[in-house]
Structure 1
Amino acid sequence: MSDNLAADTADAADIEAVGDLARRVTANVEEVIVGHHDVVEHLVTALFARGHVLLEDVPGVGKTMLARAVARSVDCSFKRVQFTPDLLPTDVTGVNVFNEKTREFEFHAGPIFANVVLGDEINRAPPKTQSALLEAMEENQVTVDGTTRTVPDPFVVIATQNSVERDRTYELPAAELDRFMKKLHLGYPDESDESEVLARVVGEHPIDTLTPVATVEEVVSARRTVANVTVEQAVREYVTRLARFTREHATLGVSPRASIALLRAGQARAALNDRDYVIPDDVQREAVVTFAHRIRPAPDSDRTARELVEQALERVDV
């Protein structure tokens, strides 16, 4: 019996195609986003690993622009939801409206029914509205008035949130944070990168001329290939030990969903590096951005969640 995570194994030609596609999308996004190669790669690998991404940072560093650039790089449907305090769950999922002519209710789909959904400033809406995303993010479906409808395939939520003005925002519930495969930060550009940004936006903004370099079919195929990348038992056990370390050293450690997310991210990272099998380096490369946002350190701890994951990587045997 095979020791692989998936029943099938990824074909070498398919792996090469995934790597080429990832590099193509990454290069296209970097026509707009300057100086954040690692962040762009993380977002692309999450897309191929069937994951959702949370971008958190101060205003004006390019969070929304990054999400738009990724969406424009794939020839797919894209919807943007501006989260505000008065936004309702039905503004996200859709609503049944009574048609006077037919005397029947008709479903008007919300923006959640798109391949790429940008939830802009998601923490400005109350938890009740944020919860409208939970079913779609976990089960790729939406239930409204007792009727369940599937969202398009592929489906990915890219959400942004402000790291300032905490008194004017809502904290994301743990159940929602746990559904994001990765939490990424951009940070301020260095001097040369900021100068390059200014040079690119003089005249027409590069996002306005960005064209797709991938099709929906290519992304679906890439996801299927990534899912079949080999994960040996030793690697699975390594991920389990990392997860257990967080649970033993924090008030809230990572969930089994987080372990699955790390394995999938590792598979995508392996494919990006033209390998059909996951190695510990892939896991280590993805661990911090996949685990840290799910952890709540103990009240008396002097370590942040990120430092706890880094400590796990140092102490846990490979």
Structure 2
Amino acid sequence: MNINFIKTFLVASETKNVSRTASLLNYSQSTVSGHIEKLENELRVLLFHRKKYGIELTNEGLTYIKYAQNIIDSNIEFEKELRGMYKQSESLIVNMQESQYIYKYSHKIGKWLMDNPHVNITFKTAHSDFYLKEELSNFETDLSLITDEYIINNTLDNIAISVDNLVLVSNKQISSFHLNDLENSTLLVTEKGCSYREQMEKILFKNNITPMQKLEFIGIESLKLHIKKFGGIALLPEFVVTQELKNNELFLVPLDYQFTTLKTNLLYNSSTKKNSVFSFIENVFSLEG
């Protein structure tokens, strides 16, 4: 039964006038008449006598008033309780690299959020950082994806999520390339602390190489946009350039060098009191293929 039909009935029972009811509810007169008629059809009774100068409640209409009011009151109480439930909502802080969100988990996260509208989430950039682990221990952060060459075990709960390859890419096909050729190249990197950038910096330091030009970007998407339009070379996880490689927008640089694979682990504190933490883990990460 449509709650608006009942509201219209109650207002009309007081005004005893279709025009006045329409004005109070900001409806057209035909809408008011339609609501009343549909309610009468559902109840299979006549609620009003139609008079020349207004409407008058029938005996059935008089009887129905208290039931209609109970329905409205119950609906109001339900909405109050629902709002109260939402006021008890949980907030999660999730540390995750932009590339992981976009290319791996955005779909599952979006679905989980639709199923959990009471949860508020703050996404922060996650790097391999001691302070992230400290924040998790102190419940300042709820979940963190740590990506690094080695994941150091600690007192936090730790779930291995993925192992990813790094690839060197450019917007042009290159027939031959050596590490020292980076001296004459424009190198594109992400912000400091990013595990992808750290791997490239280790290579440069170990081989005493200084690129001709180095461009730093705030995220993977802006970096990819630049390299596709203007060129350069970048070391990126393979999963973020799969589509570009397939479409020949980017190309693998033929470097005879074995890049380190990066491990991604999920860290969290199982002593948390937030049920949504465990639900998020189960639905977003545990089922990943």
TM class by shorter chain equals under 0.3
TM-score (norm 2): 0.20
RCO greater where, 1 or 2, for CA within 8 Å and sep 6 or more?
A: 1
Give me the TM-score of the superposition, normalised by structure 1: 0.19
Could you say which structure has the larger radius of gyration? 2
The structure carrying a bigger strand percent of its residues is 2
